[in-house]
Amino acid sequence: MDFRQLGLDPRVLRAVDDAGYKEPTPIQAAAIPVILSGKDLIGIAQTGTGKTAAFTLPLLTRLTTGHSSPGHIRALILAPTRELVVQIHENVRAYAQYLSLSVATVFGGVGEKPQIEALRRGADIIIATPGRLLDLMGRRYGNFSGIQHLVLDEADRMLDMGFLPAIRDVVRQLPKRRQTLLFSATLSREIESVTREFLQTPQSVEIGRRSNPAETVAQSVYEVPRHLKPAMLQHLLRDPALEMVLVFTQMKHGADRIARRLEQNGIRTATLHSNRSQNQRLRALSEFKAGVVRVLVATDIAARGIDVDGISHVVNFDFPPAPEDYVHRIGRTGRANAVGDAISLVSPDESNDLRALERFIHRTLPRKQLEGFDYSAAAPAFAADSGRRPSGGHPGSRGRSPGNSSQGRPSRAPQGRGPGGPGPADRGPRPQGGGGGGTGGTGGGSSRGGTFRPRRFR
């Protein structure tokens, strides 16, 4: 099938051609005609199969008829993280380059004044995170009475992150007569039933098995003691085939520690997590895309916003406890039918999570041994901890239960799903000691006066 058979506007087709795309992916071929017909849609497909274009191309085509009135907004796209908002914005701008449509973004971590001005002016499309948008809507910025289209992208992640109350509050302020599109790589039947309150007799499009990883990604597991994970990662990176590597950790300070170690060993590395400022996060992504840094170490909160061509390998330094997070992580490679590799370093305490994933995807992942690696090395006096959260607690929670944060954030999703409440994804970073402008993290304590100082992670 050719894009020209789908009924898209000729100017949108010209932009698609400029981008080098010739044939639609399965999710695009199935979803675009439904969206052009005006029906509500639930779209489920593997990560990296072109879901963003699946709703962007027909949305732009529908918006070519008519124009937004001054101060009004015609389409609203909600996404869970600021990185994903930025990525969607880049895609929309590319596909709308031959159209006279206005597009603006609303997300936390940056100054709100330009966003307020954009809402006052009105726009054909607003792309936003729920938290910042709800905050500005609550202060009467923006006229949403003319919304014709609502898109919920990465819907499962938004709900898992505790955004459901915010989404409900946003939707209450939108016209009931609108087209609503819901897209995700993973969508449990429980979440699907909840989201039906936002859609009117939706049509479902599901490509491949529910929550199935992309077939173009070769997956493998290296079983290794936790204290040897840093050494194994460094050993793996001796292979020049690992040329553009995305490493996932569970915790922010774990990402910083890994980045420092790799940098100390001559491997250009950047970090991406919620303690980084928006400018730092955008710079890290830009340098990774440009090949300035070889390795990007990220937490799950950033995973949904990483849409970078050419990632050769994804490494799960910490194995994710939620199978859906595994699917999204490894979907950063092997995108758009390209070939990629996903390597998981699994310690004994993560074996239950690995088995849960294998039941989820209905397959056993191949186990491998790393040639030339010393599996018998003893643990150092203070083993390098990646910062993986032990079960049953939060770092620094001091005995509080997960839902009782003094910050007023929503409770964590069950079984550790999602990286917490909407706060880190939607607000600016909270000050952290030692974060600075480099790779961040915490330093050791003073050794003066006989104070004990733990050995640095090297």
Q: State the Cα–Cα distance between residues 262 and 268, nearest whole angstrom.
A: 7
The model scores a pTM over 0.75: no
pLDDT of residue 187: 66
Q: Tell me the domain boundaries of the chain.
A: 3-206, 217-368
Q: Residue 60, class by beta-carbon neighbours within 10 Å (0-12 exposed, 13-18 middle, 19+ buried)?
A: buried
Neighbours of 442 (CB within 10 A): 12
> Which superfamily is assigned to 217-368 in CATH?
P-loop containing nucleotide triphosphate hydrolases (3.40.50.300)
Please report where in the chains the tokens 């726009």 appear, as a residue: 123
Any residues with CB less than 8 A from the CB of 149 and at least 6 apart, and which? 59, 62, 63, 74, 75, 76, 178, 179, 180, 181
Query: Can you give 346-413 as a three-state secondary structure string?
Result: ECHHHHHHHHHHHHHHCCCCCEECCCCCCCCCCCCCCCCCCCCCCCCCCCCCCCCCCCCCCCCCCCCC
pLDDT of residue 299: 87
Radius of gyration for the chain, computed over Cα atoms and rounded to the nearest angstrom = 22
Q: Residue 102, class by beta-carbon neighbours within 10 Å (0-12 exposed, 13-18 middle, 19+ buried)?
A: middle
**The listed CATH number (3.40.50.300, 3.40.640.10, 3.40.50.1460, 2.40.50.140) that belongs to domain 3-206:** 3.40.50.300
Please report where in the chains the tokens 């990632």 appear, as a residue: 311
Smallest Cα–Cα separation from 367: which of 224, 251, 175?
224
Q: How far is the CA of 266 from the CAs of 85, 234, 286, in angstroms?
A: 33, 10, 20
Q: State the Cα–Cα distance between residues 427 and 24, nearest whole angstrom.
A: 36
- Run of H or E residues at 103: strand 103-106
Extract the tokens encoding 96: 């709308």
pLDDT tens for the 458 residues of the chain, in order: 889 999 999 999 999 999 988 899 999 999 999 999 999 999 988 767 788 999 999 999 999 987 667 789 999 999 988 888 998 999 999 999 999 999 999 999 889 999 999 999 999 999 999 999 999 999 999 999 999 999 999 887 787 778 888 999 999 999 999 999 998 876 666 667 677 789 989 998 988 655 566 677 899 999 999 999 999 999 999 999 999 999 999 888 899 999 999 999 999 999 988 788 778 888 888 899 889 999 999 987 655 656 677 889 999 999 999 887 888 788 777 665 567 899 999 999 999 999 999 998 888 999 999 999 999 887 765 444 444 544 443 333 333 333 333 333 344 444 443 333 444 344 444 444 443 334 433 333 333 334 434 444 33
pLDDT of residue 383: 46
3-state secondary structure of 92: helix
Neighbours of 389 (CB within 10 A): 15
Query: What is the residue-wise DSSP string for 275-305?
Result: TS-HHHHHHHHHHHHHTS-SEEEEEHHHHTT
> Within its chain, how far is the Cα of 404 from the centroid?
25
Any residues with CB less than 8 A from the CB of 321 and at least 6 apart, and which? 353, 356, 415, 416, 417
3-state secondary structure of 41: strand
9-32 burial, b at 16+ Cβ within 10 Å, e below that, comes to: bebbbebbeeeebeebbbbbbbbb
Any residues with CB less than 8 A from the CB of 380 and at least 6 apart, and which? 227, 455
pLDDT of residue 115: 96
